[in-house]
């Protein structure tokens, strides 16, 4: 009887929709009134500017870069189709690419864990109801919204081998030969890692802080009643409840670390001896200094593929440690 009632009501709705002036029938037999059609068209009208912007400024340039990666073009001579030559060249005739790939990989392997662990520690410390936490939250977040150029110039002065305050402190501590940070092939990349971790710490801290404040306090109260220590509460409650936030921070930190560019340009210009040259800076130099547009497009697409594969792997294995049902 219930099914018959639903069928009757459906037929009645169809009759009313058909009788309504201006009703429209689609290919599947679904009936829309004139008002519904106008609302649907209005919705597509609001979406149109965003769709056009996406097609013109994102999709078409990405597609053009893909086609350009199979060509040789220096902006002056006609475009020449070379197929996979640019991709083969990366690993056979461009020793600089191998160096920048190693630099970028090492940069990611160091900065991603450092930024995540330090940000979580700071977020745990600033998640307490203590006086001054608002000031420290703002202070840690300030580098995120500050100009990268200004940050790089300040750290250039800090790392100065002769007049920088960092080496002055090392001299006071008894270090007779402190590093020549930005002019040393051994210490230039670690210097950039330090600046990158310091600059990105505040953003990750805010994300972790939001995740920590979303954990119900009742869980900690129950754990304390059961006699759980602080470490047990952190290991059994905080980390599992924070796993979705940790996964998000891992994704965005990995992507941003692979795309490091501005610090390398301003602080060291990729030197000394390509010690701080990165994949993105290598793309920039090939495109806008050497005018190898096709080769630069191939490098950009390789970076995209690397990030795409890493992100897919992270999403594939998240089910083993990310808990959404807690």
**CA neighbor of 148 nearest in space, from 304, 285, 256, 299:** 256
* Structural domains of the chain in order of their starting residue, each with its CATH number: 17-68 (no CATH), 87-320 (1.10.3720.10)
21: left (phi over 0), alpha (psi -120 to 50) or beta: beta
Q: What is the pTM of this model?
A: 0.84
Query: Residue by residue, what is the 3-state secondary structure of the chain?
Result: CHHHHHHHHHHHHHHHHHHCCCCEECCCCCEECHHHHHHHHHHHHHHHHHHHHHHHHHHHHHHHHHHHCCEECCCCCCCEECCCHHHHHHHHCCHHHHHHHHHHHHHHHHHHHHHHHHHHHHHHHHCCCCCCHHHHHHHHHHHHHCCHHHHHHHHHHHCCCCCCHHHHHHHHCCCCCCCCHHHCCCCHHHHHHHHHHHHHHHHHHHHHHHHHHCCCHHHHHHHHHCCCCHHHHHHHHHHHHHHHHHHHHHHHHHHHHHCCCHHHHHHHCCCCCCCCCCHHHHHHHHHHCCCCHHHHHHHHHHHHHHHHHHHHHHHHHHHHCCCCCC
Q: Which tokens belong to 212?
A: 């920590």
Dist. CA 286–CA 68, nearest whole Å: 14
Q: What is the pLDDT along the chain (326 residues), one digit of tens a residue?
A: 444 444 444 444 444 444 444 555 555 555 567 778 888 888 889 999 999 999 999 999 999 999 999 999 998 889 999 999 999 999 999 999 999 999 999 999 999 999 999 999 999 999 988 888 889 999 999 999 999 999 999 999 999 988 899 999 999 998 888 999 999 999 999 999 999 999 999 999 999 999 999 999 999 999 999 999 989 999 999 999 999 999 999 999 999 999 999 999 999 999 899 999 999 999 999 999 999 999 999 999 999 999 999 999 999 999 888 888 76
């Amino acid at each position: 009887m219930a099914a018959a009632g639903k069928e009757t009501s459906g037929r009645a709705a169809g009759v009313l929709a058909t009788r309504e002036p201006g009703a429209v029938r689609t290919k599947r037999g679904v009936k829309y009134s004139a008002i519904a059609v106008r609302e649907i068209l209005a919705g597509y009208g609001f979406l149109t500017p965003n769709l056009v912007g996406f097609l013109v400024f994102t999709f078409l340039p990405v597609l053009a870069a893909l086609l350009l990666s199979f060509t040789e073009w220096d902006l002056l001579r006609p475009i020449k189709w070379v197929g996979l030559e640019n991709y083969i060249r990366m690993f056979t005739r461009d020793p600089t690419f191998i160096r920048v790939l190693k630099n970028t990989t090492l940069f990611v392997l160091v900065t991603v864990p450092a930024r995540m662990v330090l940000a979580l520690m700071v977020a745990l410390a600033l998640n307490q109801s203590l006086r001054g936490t608002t000031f420290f939250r703002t202070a840690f977040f300030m580098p995120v919204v500050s100009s990268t150029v200004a940050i790089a110039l300040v750290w250039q002065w800090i790392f100065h081998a002769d007049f920088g305050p960092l080496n002055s402190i090392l001299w006071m501590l008894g270090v007779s030969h402190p590093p020549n940070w930005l002019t040393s092939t051994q210490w230039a990349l670690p210097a950039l890692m330090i600046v990158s971790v310091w600059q990105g710490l505040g953003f990750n801290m805010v994300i972790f802080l939001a995740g920590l404040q979303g954990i119900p306090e009742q869980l900690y109260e129950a754990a304390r009643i059961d006699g759980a220590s602080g470490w047990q509460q952190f290991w059994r409650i905080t980390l599992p409840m924070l796993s979705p936030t940790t996964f998000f921070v891992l994704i965005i930190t990995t992507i941003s670390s692979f795309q490091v560019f501005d610090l390398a340009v301003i602080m060291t210009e990729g030197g000394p001896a390509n010690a701080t040259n990165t994949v993105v800076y290598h793309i920039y130099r090939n495109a806008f200094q050497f005018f190898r547009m096709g080769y630069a497009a191939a490098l950009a697409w390789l970076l995209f593929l690397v990030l795409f594969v890493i992100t897919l792997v992270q999403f594939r294995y998240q089910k083993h440690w990310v808990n959404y049902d807690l």
